[in-house]
Structure 1
Amino acid sequence: MHIHPPKPLHGWKEFLNEIFVIVIGVLIALGFEQVVEQWHWHHEIADARETLRTEVARDLLAMQIAIDNQQCRDANWGELQRRVKVNDPAGVLALVALWPKLQGQSITLDSTHWELANNSGLLAHMPTQEKQALANAFGIFGIEERFQRNRADLILEAISKASVFEGSTNSRESLLEKIALLRKVSGRADNYPNEITEIRKKTGIEPATPDEVKRESGLIIRPCVRFDQIAKAS
């Protein structure tokens, strides 16, 4: 095997030509690498965008369901509160037995995919305006999600106390205090219409439908039922 030694450069012109060829080669390689990276992030952002928009739509539906059920659920808590005030343990227990049917089936707020995208650094490659609109939406969802968890804890505590209510002064006062706090926390749903309007305007995303949720998760959403409607039917 015969190896040809490199040819010596003759003058600055040839030297500069060699440097030029090397620089051009490096720039082409860097440009190609940047194109490949941009193509990669383009697909990553497209997938993330679809997932996040689905999550926003589902959370908007969760807020809309809370609005639709607010008056019904508050009426049921008001009826439970009335029975406790008049010291009617049998009536309280009868209402508690119906509670799962009365409250219906809704969905909870969820920001899991937003948190994953945020922690992965993916959002840094998303257009600024779109990222800010989503950040505003999930900022609202995050606040309301904490109140939802607080409300869920209060419901468990109130129903637990109501299920063993025997009419003593201490149990009555404790349960009435818990119901009053629960109704106050649930009243945050009064803020939801304005928040939904704001999120829809900034993101261009509409709430999901119950049928879409059923297709995706198999969950069947059922509305709240007022106790007085059941009482009339029976």
Structure 2
Amino acid sequence: MRRIKIPWLKPLNGWRGFLGEIAIIVIGVLLALGAQQAVDTWNWRGEVSEFRKAVDYELSLDLGTYEYRFRQAGCVGRRLDQIEVWLQSSKTGSLPKLLRPIGRPSMLSQYSSVWDNKDNDVTAHLPLKDRLQYAQLYDEFRTINGLKLDERELWRSLADFEYADELNHEDRMRLGGLISRARAINELLNANYPLMIQLASSAGLRPVAVPDVAAPDPAFCLALIPTT
């Protein structure tokens, strides 16, 4: 039986030229991959930078809403003191007429849409330390916002008494409880504010006033009951 010889394939330019061409192709592919990686890195850097700016501004506005409430702390405390004096006077049967509505401290809603709608791919490119710092700030602001909402409901309940001509035992018990709870929230909000400022400062943030917001009602700082 006759054996058929299969000739070895030989590159046109020889093995040295063939290997050189392969090396050029490999280097070209690596350069293309490196260039694409550089472009991706540049694009993500821009995305992260824009995200940081948006989150920093949102958190600064949240600090501004907190500062807005914090500046009313003194008026809140004095108004609660006056309501308590009014409550105590009801025990003697002489309930003085209030000079004005009980009112409530002004409140601004907080912001979180940037963080709540964040792109996970973008946040994945944030350093872990920054992600944790942002998350902590937003968690703290959620707690603060909950306190402010509770406070709003308490003052709405306090306002139910402003037209009362007399208070019975049940009324006094309910009013005393509302005063105590409102004091507790006021104290918490006041105590936490410096801590939030310190936490935000470590992230390079400071309060920014919310645009186009009216000042708190000045009548809330005026006397509620006649002075003796």
Q: 1:184 Cα deviation (Å)?
A: 0.6
Matches within 5 A, 1:28-39: 28-39=31-42
Q: 1:219 Cα deviation (Å)?
A: 1.6
Matches within 5 A, 1:187-198: 187-188=187-188, 189-198=190-199
Distance across 1 between alignment mates of 2:116 and 2:134: 11
2:23 counterpart residue number? 20
Q: 1:55 Cα deviation (Å)?
A: 1.7
Q: Which amino acid aligns with 2:144?
A: E
Q: 1:14 Cα deviation (Å)?
A: 4.3
**Aligned with 1:194: secondary structure?**
helix
Distance across 1 between alignment mates of 2:226 and 2:11: 102
2:115 counterpart residue number? 114
2:11 counterpart residue number? 9
Cα 1:91/1:21, change in 2 over 3 Å: farther
Stretch of structure 1 that moved more, 83-92 or 48-57:
83-92
Distance across 1 between alignment mates of 2:25 and 2:37: 18
Q: Please provide the CA RMSD for this pair.
A: 3.2
The C-alpha deviation readout for 1:172-211, integer Å capped at 9, x for no partner, is: 32222122112111211223113312321x1122222x4x
Q: 1:50 Cα deviation (Å)?
A: 1.6
Distance across 2 between alignment mates of 1:223 and 1:137: 29
Tell whether the 8 Å contact from 2:102 to 2:224 is kept in structure 1 after alignment. Answer: no
Say whether residues 1:72 and 2:75 are aligned partners: yes
Q: Which amino acid aligns with 1:126?
A: L
**Aligned with 1:84: secondary structure?**
helix
Query: TM-score scaled by structure 1?
Result: 0.73
Q: 1:70 Cα deviation (Å)?
A: 0.9
The C-alpha deviation readout for 1:30-86, integer Å capped at 9, x for no partner, is: 223222322322222222122112122222222323332112112112212332333
1:4 counterpart residue number? none
2:146 counterpart residue number? 146
Q: 1:124 Cα deviation (Å)?
A: 1.8
The C-alpha deviation readout for 1:88-128, integer Å capped at 9, x for no partner, is: 77735x54x3526xx3x4534333322323x5342221244
2:185 counterpart residue number? 185
Cα 1:25/1:47, change in 2 over 3 Å: same
Q: Which amino acid aligns with 2:97?
A: G
Distance across 2 between alignment mates of 1:228 and 1:66: 19
Tell whether the 8 Å contact from 2:103 to 2:155 is kept in structure 1 after alignment. Answer: no
Distance across 2 between alignment mates of 1:223 and 1:31: 61
Query: TM-score scaled by structure 2?
Result: 0.75
Distance across 1 between alignment mates of 2:86 and 2:67: 30
1:220 counterpart residue number? 214
Q: Which amino acid aligns with 1:222?
A: P
Q: Which amino acid aligns with 1:85?
A: Q
1:174 counterpart residue number? 174
Q: Which amino acid aligns with 1:27?
A: L
Q: Tell which structure's C-alpha radius of gyration is larger.
A: 2
**What is the aligned length?**
212
Q: Which amino acid aligns with 2:158?
A: A
Matches within 5 A, 1:81-160: 81-87=84-90, 91=97, 95=100, 97=101, 99=103, 103=105, 105-117=106-118, 120-159=120-159
For structure 1, the 5+ residue unaligned runs are: 1-6
For structure 2, the 5+ residue unaligned runs are: 1-8
Distance across 1 between alignment mates of 2:50 and 2:176: 49
